[in-house]
Structure 1
Amino acid sequence: MRILKVTLLSLLGLLTTLIVAIVAITATIDPNDYKTDIESAVAQNSNLTLTIDGDLGWSFMPLGIDISGVTLNHLDGKTFTSLNQLTAQVGLISLLKLNPQVHKVIVDGLVVTLEKNEQGEANWENITAKKVTGSTQSPEAKVTSAASAQDNPSTPSRDKAQQANSDFQFEIEEVAIINTTIRYLDKQSNQSASLEDLNLLANNISLGGEFPLSIEFKVSNSQPKLDITATIDAAITIDNNMRHVAVRQLNSHYDISGTPLSGNNLSASFNGKQIIADLDKDQVTLDEIALQLANLTLKTNLEIQNLSKQPKLDGNLAIPAFSLQTLLASLGLPAIDTSDKNVLTQIGFKTLLEGTAEDLKLNNIAIRLDDTSYTGSLNYRAVNQYIAANIKGSELNVDRYLPPAKDPVTQATQTIEHETNKDENATNTGQSAPTPASSQPEPQLLPLETIRSLNLDISFIQQTLIAKNLTLNDLTLLVKAADGIVTVSEASGKLYEGYFDVNAKIDASTDNPKWTIKKAVNNIQVLPLLKDLQDLEIISGGVNLNADIKSTGNTVSALRNSAKGNASFDFDKGAFHGFNLTKLTCEGVALINRDRVTKSDWSNKSEFQSMSGVLTVNGNKFTNNNLTAAMSGLALIGKGVIDTKILNINYGIDLKAIGNLGDNACRVNEKVKDLAIPIVCNGPLNGDPAKLCKLDYNRMQELVAAAGKKELERKADKEVDKLLDKHLGGDNAETKKSVKKLLKGLF
């Protein structure tokens, strides 16, 4: 007991002596007396000069120091760093307990100037004076010392260090870093940037407790000119082990302006209920986080587990409806020119996130595009870059999002002016005129390298799709892609009162892709389809089509030129528009009858009950040699070629009158019975339909001559019958037949 008592008294005496010594020093020694020594020490150990214009002060309770008016200059006199005031205070008793309690840390008016000259030399390099003295310890001694330290059993283990860290108490009453400025200038690139008016305030800081943090600053950049003003407020919690950090009630706001925004002022924010990083659980939790840029907001609740290895996501992501046009205007970008000025004003997105970066799932996807909505799911796997998607959409009018159609006169004028300006520029610069657009390389249809890297399984359904004035309903698209081969197992939908179903295969494994297309069409109304697609009004009716086409190439012209295959078709209850085949047939029959057509109220179309044929596809030429059609009073057969490249038709048609054609001049008699009236249809499909089909007068001359010969033979035969009846009587049929045969042989 006596030994313990002596030991305690000795420690108490030592502590008392230490406190008395500190009090004596702080009370009797003026630190300003050592300014010159401090400035000299800096000059000896660096390439900077230190000037202390203000007072130096210290205190005992709490133990602290005050410094003001400090400047660090380079040897050439340029200021490197200046400080208005530094105050640091710590509780003496807490320091002796190894549980420091800092009262105040105040840094006021810190200014740092970082500069590179024209040669790229930085003023923060080589600020420490070079030492010429060698090491006072030999390499062997260093190795021995390190080995001794390693073998020293008193070296604390990692567990003990962690225990000491967990017992460590850290408290700060106030931290204030105010009026701080950092400037950067690069004379070599003529670039400058600065951080100004930085203020960081926090108080009652302690491990395990929550404390407020407030930060504000301004950032400026010269090229491009950009200014950012920011304010950040939050409540911070750090546990004693410093392995659990929570940021709550985060509110931050940013005002941005400058050249990239075309002079606009843009606001942004980053707010959240809480952000928790738990190193023991190896996870980060984001609770009610909202990032906002102008009118665009991204919201999320997300938990990220297994953070240090393979992060696993679980949460949701949402972008409330916003106007893309307004966002572009805020960013100083031009608006997207669309036919409908009301589109791109309501765009939104939300989904549930699940999985890892190697296997990420987006479930319950909901996309809004103005009046159109999409729902579905998506799965991405890093292995083989696999993407699977199942998407369903409502009605979408693509034409609303296309650029507005230009007036033909205005467009022609702009084209002429553009070409004239190009020629003038070429002349002024001494360059040759640019190559005409028509001689430029044709754009590729498929990005082959991208296609070869695809690994897709897509299911897409669109309730209604309007594109290029075409209206498709219940559009279904099933697509798979792997190893450079794209397979469309189904592309089907309802179109103009009918139905279509296409399946295709594209082999893009080579630079000359191979295409195989099989198409089935059921009762699609052709007239509105052609009207909306090509503004053609030439044929109507419901068409049934089965096509099997193969082609190669990666441009539109290559696919057209190399297309091979067949397509069988039949029409039900349709009509040719713009001309009347019955009228043309009547005119042909009237020529044979040597009569004149008096009917004038002919319809401007040619109706038929049915029409069928087979097209042989050979490049741009669609050849048909077996066209047949049933019409009122007519039977039609024909053959010809359609050139899809120039939209031209060249058909020869034979029309046989089998009934009343509507005018006495084209009465069907023995003279015209079994004769086919030749019609030729030749010209552009997008031209005047009334000029497309007409009588083939070259063949009509032959037909009229043949009809006349047939009529003479009929009349001669009739006269012979009369003479034979007169001389042989009516009961000698065999004799009459023999005589007629003999007479025909003579003539």
Structure 2
Amino acid sequence: MKAFGKILGLGLLGLLLIIVALGFALTHLFDPNDYKDEIRQLARDKAHIELTLNGDIGWSLFPWLGLELHDASIATLNAPKAPFADLQMLGLSVRVLPLLRKEVQMSDVRVEGLNLTLTRDADGHGNWEDFGKPLPSDQTDASTTPGDSNAGKPETSGTEDGNERPVKLDIDSLTVNNARVQYSDAKSGQTLNAESIQLSTGAVHQGATIPLKASGFVSIGQPNLKVRSELAGDLRFDRQAKRYNLDDMRLSGEASGEPLGGKTLTYAAQGQVMVDLAKNVAEWTGLKISANQLRALGELSARDLHSTPQVSGGLSIAQFDLRTFLDGIGHPLPATADPAVFAKLEVVSRLQASPSSLSLDDLTIKLDDSTFSGRVAVEDFARQALRLNLKADTFDADRYLPAKSDEAKGAKAARQAEVKQEEDGAVAGAGTTPLPNAPSQVAWSNDKLLPVDRLRALDIQAELAFDALTLDKLPIKQAQLQAQGQGGMLTLQTLRGALYNGSFEARGNLDVRPAVPQLGINTKITRVPVEHFIKTQSPDKAPPVKGLLTLSSDLTATGNSQKALIDTLNGTANFTINDGVLVNANIEQQLCQAIATLNRKQLSGEPRGKDTPFQELHGSLVVRNGVASNPDLKVRIPGLTLNGNGDLDLRVLGMDYRVGVIVEGDQRAMPDPACQVNERYVGVELPLRCRGPLELGAKACRLDQDGLGQVAAKLAGNRIKDKLDEKLDEKLGDKVSPELKDALKGLFKR
């Protein structure tokens, strides 16, 4: 028995020596380079690829089945002379015995100088789609070969439906050096190149954690963009379950190029990534993203990966300077009225997204001193279908308006100088200074107001609410805005709110389909202090008129600048100002001067209060091409009634009015004798002329000397008539009836 064991041992040793000897003979006496043609033909017949072996083939047999290829390339059978991939060197080795157990145990796998060339032709067909496919003639031959019992039968996979045990993969490491991928699309003209690709892993065992590192440079042709990226993490996968995890994923790099305006974007991303192809889902948890100074946290999940992916999750962007960030990626914000805006932006939201849409729900935006909450969505990227439903605490819209151009600033300065010159000469008081000149400087800017091209393509529905909204320096409380637009027609359904204890509401539409935009607007203002609508040249100067304004208007205009809109302004308006004051304009004093002139006397008292209160001012306007005609101005002042007609030239913010004043004279307990109204003056209308910049208000009014002469002539005629009436009364006495006496007096009226 002992001898038998010894003999068996010697036999096994001899067998092992024979195997080693055969391996040595095969690897040293057999040269695979002599069989390159056979290997190429085998690749055509079995793998349906065109294999080119320009370099030597090195190999070993036992205990490792080793293979080393140099200067090799593969192509599709349809285009054998256009390599799909080529490489400088591929080195790998596999343990022989584990192969018998369907286990692939490999040593280090190295790939040097791999180049992949991917192309899509003008018909949208990619060269990779033909990889591994036989020529059409080969397919026909194979399908008609008799005796092929497997013809027409679906292939079974040993990993899923077949009964064979799945192949177990085991690699010590994988290294890819200096790889390159080139992609071009003849249909779109787009190109993409990935260069200097480096990949290295630790031991690759299914179900175990695999350390992974990768890096490379990517350049895109249209528009030109260059990206450098580095990726690291721990990879785990289960091929049977089709589940892949990349734990502790860290991605970083830089991007530059035309989309960034020549600037550089430094980015980084971290988190845990999971893809489950069996369940058709993916997750990114512990998400951390940075892009220059932007920092974000969140989590994302995706479903329906094989059809139309749907993404959901949450995102929180820490406070950052939006203006600086956009400037740093080559997209600077336009200059704004307040250059300090957009300095603080913070966003928190839940999100839903698909390839064609994006929705931000439960949204909170903190922008500078304002907080918005609600929902923002783009329902269709192609249609730019924007949906807004937001509520804000406070928002000063004036700060975010575009800054005025140098041209607009120059025009404003010229008009301010003109108004200042006329204001210096306009003295409220006796009214002896000359009538101010009509303004000539345009009051409006030629700056472009609307992004017409964007508005034409926009599909929008917006509902906005503000606890406090500042617009054109007007503090609006509980403001509400509803608007919609599609196909170039935008409709302001309502804009309303409380304003200085009054209210306002506006409706309108904007048609940007024509070459020149067309605007229509209806407004209603109820008991709002009028002084807040009147601009003065200096903030510390009082407005020319105060009071509670009630206004309704229906106006149209065309153009895309302030000047164009005013020049084409047409429509109607009605206005009333109650409980008002004409500031720094003592009309009563001026009228006393007129009465004293008619009485041929001099005023003895000092001028009284500098303002003129009134109970009501009302009238109507008919606007034609920027000039508003006001034929029925009426003002009720205690002791006075003013009737006026004239024009408001909105193009230069000027006025030209003729005003008739019916006065009762000095009604004080101790009246100025020169300002007392004789009975024969009762009902006489004294004329004023008001001309000059609208900002001057009543300070632009003077006695109309020509009209005053006509009044004096009329009064003189009335005096003669009164004397004749007295003579008739004396002569006729009671001799005639009252009717005949009145008829005789009437003769003198002709």
Counterpart of 2:709?
Answer: 701
- After superposition, the Cα gap between the structure-2 partners of 1:218 and 1:22, relative to the gap in structure 1 and judged at 3 Å, is farther
Distance 1:607 1:525 in 2: 14
Residue pair 2:483, 2:493 contacting (<8 A) in 1 also = yes
Equivalent-residue separation in structure 2 for 1:237 and 1:355 (angstroms): 27
Question: What amino acid is the match of 2:675?
Answer: C
Partner of 2:104: 100
Match of 1:303 in 2: 301
Cα displacement (A) at 1:611: 1.5
Match of 1:271 in 2: 270
Q: Report the secondary structure of 1:345's partner residue.
A: coil
The answer (yes or no) to whether the contact 2:159–2:240 under 8 Å persists in 1 is no
**57, 60, 75: which one aligns with 1:58:** 60
Correspondence for 2:287: 289
C-alpha contact (below 8 Å) 1:452/1:485 kept by paired residues:
no
Tell me the amino acid that sits aligned with residue 694 of structure 2: L
- Please state how far the C-alpha of 1:672 moved relative to its aligned partner: 2.1
Q: 1:330 aligns with which of 328, 333, 338?
A: 328
Q: What is residue 94 of structure 2 aligned with on the other side?
A: 90
Which amino acid in structure 2 is aligned with residue 393 of structure 1? Answer: A
Q: Could you tell me which residue of structure 1 aligns to residue 313 of structure 2?
A: 315
Tell me the distance in 2 between the aligned counterparts of 1:231 and 1:18: 51
CA distance in structure 2 between the partners assigned to 1:494 and 1:91 by the alignment: 84
Q: Report the CA distance between 1:260 and its aligned residue.
A: 7.2
CA distance in 2, matches of 1:231, 1:613: 74
Specify the alignment match of 1:669 in structure 2. 678
SS at match of 2:108: strand
The aligned counterpart of 2:393 is 394
Please tell me whether the aligned partners of residues 364 and 377 of structure 1 are also in contact (alpha carbons under 8 angstroms): yes
Corresponding position of 1:524: 528
Against the structure 1 CA distance between its residues 18 and 315, is the aligned structure 2 distance closer, same or farther, given a 3 Å change threshold? farther
Instruction: Summarize the Cα distance change of 1:176–1:473 in structure 2 as closer, same or farther, 3 Å threshold.
Output: same
In 1, the alpha carbon distance for the partners of 2:641 and 2:195 equals: 90
Distance across 1 between alignment mates of 2:482 and 2:475:
20
Offset at residue 488 of structure 1 (A)? 3.5
Q: Which digits, 9 at most, give the CA deviation of each residue in 1:254-285, with x for residues without a partner?
A: 14467876876542112212x22222222222
| Structure 1 residue 159: Cα displacement | 6.9
Q: Report which structure shows greater RCO (CA 8 Å, sep ≥6).
A: 2
Stretch deviating more after TM superposition (336-345 or 504-513): 504-513
Quote how far apart the aligned CAs of 1:679 are: 0.9
SS class of match (2:202): strand
Q: Which residue of 1 aligns with 2:629?
A: 623
Shift of 1:513: 8.0
Give, in angstroms, the shift of residue 346 of structure 1.
1.6
In the alignment, structure 1 residue 652 sits paired with structure 2 residue 661: no
Q: Equivalent residue of 1:167, what SS?
A: coil
TM-superposition CA deviations, 1:636-662 (whole Å, max 9, x none): 122222232332322221111124176
Q: In the comparison of the two structures, how many residue pairs are matched?
A: 663
Note the alpha carbon deviations across 1:566-617, whole angstroms, 9 max, x for none. 4332111212345332233222212211122344535554321222223334
Aligned AA (2:21): A
Q: In structure 2, how many angstroms separate the alpha carbons of the residues matched to 1:262 and 1:740?
A: 94
Equivalences for residues 330-729 of structure 1 within 5 A: 330-331=328-329, 337-354=335-352, 361-378=359-376, 388-402=387-401, 447=452, 454=459, 456-481=460-485, 486-504=490-508, 517-531=521-535, 537-547=543-553, 549=554, 551=556, 553=558, 565-577=571-583, 579-601=585-607, 603-660=609-666, 663-686=672-695, 688-689=696-697, 692-715=700-723, 717-718=725-726
Counterpart amino acid of residue 207 in structure 2: G
Change in CA separation of 1:563 and 1:264 when aligned onto 2, cut-off 3 Å: closer
TM-score by length of 1: 0.74
Query: How far is the alpha carbon of 1:398 from its aligned partner?
Result: 3.0
**One-letter amino acid matched to 1:26:** G
Using the alignment, how far apart are the partners of 1:20 and 1:268 within structure 2? 60
Alpha-carbon displacement from aligned partner over 1:214-264 (angstroms, at most 9, x marks no partner) = 213355799999765432112222213262222222111114467876876
**Aligned-pair CA distance for 1:720:** 6.5
Contact kept? 2:260, 2:331, Cα under 8 Å: yes
What SS does the aligned partner of 1:582 have?
Answer: helix
C-alpha distance in 2 between matches for 1:261 and 1:502: 41
Distance in 2 between residues matched to 1:483 and 1:56, nearest whole Å: 68
Between the aligned partners of 2:139 and 2:114, the Cα distance in structure 1 is: 42
CA distance in structure 1 between the partners assigned to 2:502 and 2:521 by the alignment: 20
Q: For 2:215 and 2:653, locate their aligned partners in 1 and report how far apart those are by CA, in whole Å.
A: 69
Query: Could you tell me which residue of structure 2 aligns to residue 144 of structure 1?
Result: 144
| Segment of structure 1 superposing worse, 329-338 or 633-642 | 329-338
| Structure 1 Cα separation of the partners of residues 556 and 568 of structure 2 | 5
Q: CA RMSD in A?
A: 5.0
Q: CA deviation at 1:539?
A: 2.2
> Unpaired runs of 5+ in structure 2?
1-11, 44-49, 74-84, 120-126, 128-134, 415-444
Partners of 1:184 and 1:739 in 2: CA distance: 117
Task: Tell me if the contact between 1:209 and 1:239 (Cα under 8 Å) persists in the aligned partners.
Answer: no
Identity of aligned residues (%): 21
Whether 1:26 and 2:23 are equivalent positions in the alignment is yes
Listed one character per residue, the Cα deviations across residues 512-567 of structure 1 (whole Å, up to 9, x for unaligned) are: 988664322111111122127998933221101233x2547565678667766543
Deviations 1:449-469 (A, max 9, x none): 956973x54321122233443
Give CA deviations for 1:15-43 in whole Å, capped at 9, x if unaligned: 99997765324334555984974899999
Whether the 8 Å CA contact 2:103–2:170 is kept in 1: the answer is no
Q: CA–CA distance in 1 between the matches of 2:214 and 2:227?
A: 14
**CA offsets 1:472-492 (integer angstroms, 9 cap, x no match):** 232111234568765434210
